[in-house]
Amino acid sequence: MTAIMYRTVEVDGFNIFCREAGVTGAAKLLLLHGFPSASHMFRDLIPLLADRFHIVAPDLPGFGRSDMPGRGHTFERIAETINRFTEVVGFDHYAVYVFDYGAPTGFRLAVRHPDRITAIISQNGNAYEEGLSDGWNPIRAYWQDPSQTNRDALRTFLAPETTIWQYTHGVPDVTMVSPDGYSLDNFYLTRPGAGELQLDLFGDYKSNVGLYPTFQKYFRTYKPPFLAVWGKNDPFFLPKGAEAFKRDIPHAVVSFFDTGHFALETHATGIAAAIRKFLPH
């Protein structure tokens, strides 16, 4: 059995919960989760890779078991905290696996410290406008008019049934989706302050779209080894977004899986195999 350690790391007075596995001294792999999840989304992937990599998977600030920041939280602040987290845990050179919110976080780290990033794996982690579906329209409306009415309209994204829908939409056989993941996500969404923090981040997501040209310039300039593993039935991030990486990184590898947004729930084995083939060790 794979030994996985569960610990809390203090980052400049802020507590970040994380999962860690693998052999110290092996190639480093940072796993960054998305909305509304936490590092538990990697519970099936970590054991499939821990024999080859030193893996660390943090809960982003305000998610899972990490500390809850104050109001007005932004993706830039998330990236700043996770950047310091990598320094505290000794991740000086590492590959990064990004999913959903983990993508604008990880891409910010890459732009800030391109010398530290050895490779990027993007699982439904977008960096191109053509990758955004119409499912973003209610959030776009809030970007254009940050009124209380438009903010309140986004509370449906925080409802328990919406979380379940995110996990099951686009999955050919929903009996393959364990209830553990979405049940834990819904539990964490009830933490005091979590709802307002998530609404703040919906509003700030426009800053990520604004950085797409910066992310794309990084891809063109540094051309990191890049693997896209994509649930092709994702209602939020379209397959066009996965293919778009090849414009800026011609050698990028793009693999599609017949599943939805949370591809690891049904295809962890296939995604792990793609990573093992892609990454040196």
**Each residue's pLDDT tens digit, 150-181:** 999 999 999 999 999 999 999 999 999 999 99
Mean pLDDT throughout 255-269?
98
Active site residue 261: yes
pTM of the model: 0.97
- The pLDDT of residue 70 is 86
Instruction: Check whether 2 has a pLDDT greater than 80.
Output: no
- Mean per-residue pLDDT for 209-230? 98
User: Which CATH architecture best describes the domain 4-278?
Assistant: 3-Layer(aba) Sandwich (3.40)
CB 185 within 8 A of CB 100: no
The pLDDT value given to residue 41: 98
The pairing of beta strand 117-123 with beta strand 94-99: parallel
Q: What's the per-residue H, E or C state across the chain?
A: CCCEEEEEEEECCEEEEEEEECCCCCEEEEEECCCCCCHHHHCCCHHHHCCCEEEEEECCCCCCCCCCCCCCCCHHHHHHHHHHHHHHCCCCCEEEEEECCHHHHHHHHHHHCHHHEEEEEEECCCCCHHHECHHHHHHHHHHHCCCHHHHHHHHHHHCHHHHHHHHHCCCCCHHHCCHHHHHHHHHHCCCCCHHHHHHHHHHHHHHHHHCHHHHHHHHHHHCCCEEEEEECCCCCECHHHHHHHHHHCCCCEEEEECCCCCCHHHHHHHHHHHHHHHCCC
Q: Across the strands, what pairs with 96?
A: 30, 120
The overall average pLDDT reported for the chain is: 97
Catalytic residue among 33, 169, 261, 267: 261
Name the residue ranges covered by the structural domains of the chain. Answer: 4-278
Answer whether residue 1 shows pLDDT above 70: no
Per-residue pLDDT tens for 34-85? 999 999 999 999 999 999 999 999 999 999 999 999 888 999 999 999 999 9
* pLDDT one-digit tens code per residue, 86-137: 999 999 999 999 999 999 999 999 999 999 999 999 999 999 999 999 999 9
